Chains A and B, each alone.
Chain A
């Protein structure tokens, strides 16, 4: 089926070239980082994780969200997702690869990566994150490819794939849960030290992932002249709405605990996040944009009429992505570190190379999505022709 990836319109090739250029720029920046070390980033002794790990956290959620189509399709026989499911699975493949790349670029000694396998350490959540992320990548490549191949041959998927599909459901939940546990079990990081981390990760994931999927589906409609189906998109829109509401509710719960208990160690992080401390207000500005985007999106999506209009739905989905990306991709990690254990307050602003490397990895992800979706959609066109 891969041959379909090398037969495309001029637009397809131009898009791939643009992505390759972005990847090239990112790769160049990464070479500088390899040469000089992570000193090219804005990370320091106190904020020791930043943009890279934040993107990992955000994208694990997007990857996990494929399960929001698998559950209705396979557990509730919701056939509207039948045509589009493959796109969700392939998006999961691309996002997990991005996640793994973000881990690698964050390492000080990337050539020792295999030490995690050579010296397996079950007490470390990072070890388990490695296990679940690679397992999920394997599951989605396997399931996506086997079901697509079966469809192409116009037969039902082989029976042996069913257990893998059912396994992929708890596995999807596990990748984001384990990623939340990276943070939620650290003594002395009061911002992260809460049982609501995993649920709130999942809620934001199930809002952000389907929102991105809806936007990409609209793009496919325009550029690939293939309609994933109105009912599928409408179902996704409902999922985004519920998940976004749950996510905003959970943020409210966290703020209540910190705000009403007034325990300084908890409260200080939230003050830093939303108002800034000691003049460090850069992050707070972003967070208000995030909050405004999230609340506006919910107000729009709550009304079925709005969801049924493609343009309004697309706009709301963009807002959802802005909201969740700022919260996870910018706010969550830095705020866990600030105020520092020594109660210092500082601002972490990523450097040029850091941003270039990040964009490069997003480029790789979009390249993989483009190629895999091209294959998937061409196969579907072939069947439906």
Chain B
């Protein structure tokens, strides 16, 4: 055995390498996702909004529930942050509007939010996978991975995304902070998340709870779900269907 010291060091090095790699290989095989007991499950979450029952009061309740729960700052400028808000029928469905509409229908106020598209362009364009679609269809944001390039905002045809141009905590009241959702830092994009954190705990989204009987939430793949039932019974629209993004927020007409 020539140069045995050299061989020994080689062997020792390989052993050390093996020891350091093996545990991570072993853990890589195990299930990386924590299963949460009691979580609501679906193959494809969807929302339906009954526009006949939408009133100013219901809409404000839904908005407040959402923005309060998620610590959404109220910024009085065009650099504001919105998760769920009010727009008129004309702005949401401009391709459905004509000159001789029923009186007042054009200005009819409606709720709008992220459509959690089945084919989301925002996810396609994100260069870091900071925005991604879950197996149950919810489009989420990783605030710690987002580099703030705002490609997703250009990609979203619905204007559903907001960017934190400044530190959002400056606009939040420390005494009224919700402990159930993190505040964000400046320089990242955010949007409605279908309350994935609540769904995973077995609860329905905050806006659906706040607007009981007006907003419906459920599993589109389940023929007996509430959403499927109302979609069966009522005529419905989605925004900009022709773009092929397959929005999952339905408006019951």
Contacts and interface: CB of A to CB of B under 8 A. Distances in A.
B150 interface: yes
Interface stretch (A93-101, A243-251, A313-321, A335-343): A335-343
Given A37-B187, A341-B157, A49 B150 contact: yes
SS class, residues of chain B in contact with chain A? loop
A106 B189 CA distance: 13
Given A124-B126, A341-B159, A343-B94, A46 B147 contact: no
Contacts of A150: none
Nearest to A113: B147
B183 interface: no
B96 to A, nearest CB: 13
Contacts of B130: 115, 119
B60 interface: no
A319 B129 CA distance: 42
- Interface size on A, as a range, is 35 or more
Given A116-B128, A186-B125, A126 B186 contact: no
Contacts of B164: 37, 108
Contact of B159 (A39, A45, A336): A45
B151 A124 contact: yes
Interface stretch (B63-71, B78-86, B227-235): B78-86
Contacts of A337: 154
A309 interface: no
A43 interface: yes
Contact of B79 (A44, A103, A109, A121): A44
A125 interface: yes
Contact of B165 (A39, A103, A188): A39
Interface residues of B, number: 48
Contacts of B149: 103, 106-108, 126
Contact of B126 (A113, A121, A344): A121
Contacts of B124: 123-124
Contacts of B187: 37-38, 107-109
A159 interface: no
Contacts, number: 143
A25 interface: no
A124 B130 CA distance: 12
A46 B164 CA distance: 13
B87 interface: yes
Interface in B181-207: 185-189
A296 B35 CA distance: 68
A36 interface: yes
Contact of B147 (A109, A125, A186, A336): A109
Given A45-B78, A121-B126, A124-B127, A115 B151 contact: no
Contact of B129 (A106, A109, A119, A130): A119
Contact of B150 (A37, A108, A118, A346): A108
Contact of A121 (B94, B128, B244): B128
A49 B154 contact: yes
B178 interface: no
Contacts of B151: 124-126, 182
Interface string A69-108: 0000000000000000000000000000000000100111
B127 A127 contact: yes
A187 interface: yes
Nearest to A182: B151
Contacts of A119: 128-130, 145
B250 interface: no
A36 B166 contact: yes
Interface string A143-164: 0000000000000000000000
A262 to B, nearest CB: 15
A75 to B, nearest CB: 34
Contacts of A305: none
Given A187-B121, A343-B91, A108 B244 contact: no
Given A36-B166, A188-B157, A188-B240, A44 B77 contact: yes
Nearest to B244: A187
Nearest to B168: A37
B154 A189 contact: yes
B80 A116 contact: no
Nearest to B117: A187
A74 to B, nearest CB: 33
Interface string A128-149: 0010000000000000000000
Interface of B: 77-80, 82, 87, 90-92, 94, 121, 123-130, 145-151, 153-159, 162-167, 185-189, 240, 243-245
- Which 10 pairs, one residue from A and one from B, show the smallest C-beta to C-beta distance? A108-B148, A188-B157, A108-B187, A44-B78, A39-B166, A37-B186, A341-B159, A39-B165, A126-B127, A124-B127
Given A44-B78, A124-B126, 20 more contacts: A37-B187, A43-B163, A43-B165, A45-B153, A45-B163, A48-B153, A48-B154, A49-B154, A107-B187, A109-B185, A110-B147, A112-B145, A112-B148, A115-B128, A182-B151, A186-B125, A188-B157, A342-B87, A342-B91, A344-B91
Interface of A: 36-39, 41, 43-46, 48-49, 103, 106-110, 112-113, 115-116, 118-119, 121, 123-127, 130, 182-183, 186-189, 336-337, 340-344, 346
12 contacts: A37-B165, A38-B186, A44-B165, A45-B162, A48-B163, A109-B188, A112-B148, A121-B128, A125-B125, A182-B151, A186-B157, A188-B157
